[in-house]
Amino acid sequence: MESLKEKKLPKATAKRLPVYLRHLKILDATGVQRIKSKEFAEITQVPSATIRRDFSHLGELGRSGYGYDVPYLIEVLSHILETNEEKKIALIGFGNLGKALANNNFRRNENLSVTAVFDNDPQLVGQTVGDHYVYGMDQLAEVVKEEGITVAISTVPSRYAQSAVDVIVDAGITAILNFAPDPVVVPKAVNIQYIDLTTELQTLIFFDTTYSQKTRV
């Protein structure tokens, strides 16, 4: 499947792949082996014609009237989204969340690893905590250059997030995963993704409250 990674997918298609993958994994876990584009459209809220067109970019994945093979689709999509190249990650902010992420080290993909940890707490900078030496934020640009780091994960709280992200961008990093949900401003060439736990929780509760089919006792 190597050729798939080299071929550029339409960006709109690429954006939908993680959504497809997430829903396919849930189907797989509930024992669904085959799915038709119409059924998958209902689940993903993507029109079935779009799904068929997207999947056609990925090769011969389905047969007319038969549907798509769920485990095979998962394999293909996982392969496309997987990073085969080793990616070095700077972790910014070493509180509880930073520690959880540093130790987790994204186990499911061995090409993702936290290379260096940064904070600006004088009590932490220069210390080794667990396996991680903590650098000061003023050392970021230097360490990023030396280590060839291209990705940053920021666990810096919202009110300091913009200034942390400015330092990250100045250091030449172009991909940022931000755990502070308030949007920050970055140059066009920088990709930033937000993890917003309050919204995830609110969405869950909204569905549980509004659409629940339970009989309340």
Residues 36-95 that bind a second copy (CB under 8 A): 45-47, 80-83, 85, 87, 89, 95
The site map against a second copy for 176-205 (x = CB under 8 A) is xx---xxxxx--xx-x-xxxxxxxxxxxxx
1 makes contact with a second copy (CB under 8 A)? no
Q: Applying CB under 8 A, which of residues 18, 59, 71, 148 lies at the interface with a second copy?
A: 18
Cα–Cα distance for residue pair 29/31, rounded to 1 Å: 5
The site map against a second copy for 113-152 (x = CB under 8 A) is -------------------------------------xx-
26 makes contact with a second copy (CB under 8 A)? yes
| CB-CB contact of 167 with 136 (8 Å) | no
Residue 131, token pair as written in the block: 């396996």
Cα–Cα distance for residue pair 217/215, rounded to 1 Å: 6
148 is in an annotated binding site: no
106 makes contact with a second copy (CB under 8 A)? yes
136 is in an annotated binding site: no
* CA distances, 29 to each of 71, 77, 137, 194 (Å): 10, 16, 42, 27
CB within 8 Å of 214: residues ≥ 6 apart: none
CB of 131 to a second copy, least distance (A): 13
159 makes contact with a second copy (CB under 8 A)? no
Nearest to 123 by CA among 113, 105, 136, 111: 136
Binding-site residues for NAD(+) sit at 93-98
